[in-house]
Each structure stands twice: as structure tokens, then as C-alpha cells.
Amino acid sequence: MMNSEDLAKYIEQSQGISKPWLLIQLRLKKLEESKDSLSETEYINQLMDIHQDLMKLGEWWIGREDEVFGSSL
């Protein structure tokens, strides 16, 4: 399983900085790693912030699946 540093390197090497879903994954991973040092309120607030940003992504990718995610065939 990747830690946040490995995930950040992967995003950088794969030019994923322009892929917002990868950046959200990185934020989630960092939050997971810092969970023990946060109060329950801080953790929930940060998780809600990440969720809100995820929901803003919407379905912008519909009709562009191959372009955005690559063809799986």
C-alpha cells in the first residue's frame, strides 16, 4: 500500500497533477496518516472539506472516459 509520499511521487511522475481525482486521493491519504494527531472535530472538518471538493468534480468526465482515464481495452 502506498503512503502519501509514494502517491505524490506517482502523481508527479505520471503527470497526474492535472487529474483532480488523484489530488483528492492524495489529500485523503495525508488525512489518514495524520488522523491520530487530529481531534475528532478537526478530522471530520477536513474530511468534509475533501468530500465537498470531490463533489465539485461532478460528472465532467462523462463522454471523455478514454481521454481522461485511458482505454481499458
Helices 20-34 and 40-57, axial angle in degrees (round to 10): 170
pTM comes to 0.78
Rounded percentage of the chain residues whose pLDDT exceeds 90: 59
Neighbour count for residue 11 (Cβ, 10 Å): 17
As given in the structure block, the three cell numbers for residue 48 are 468534509
* The pLDDT of residue 49: 97
15-64: pLDDT as tens digits: 888 888 899 999 999 999 999 999 999 999 999 999 999 898 888 778 88
* The pLDDT of residue 73: 45
Neighbour count for residue 7 (Cβ, 10 Å): 19
* The pLDDT of residue 72: 53
As given in the structure block, the three cell numbers for residue 43 are 478530522
As given in the structure block, the three cell numbers for residue 33 are 496518516
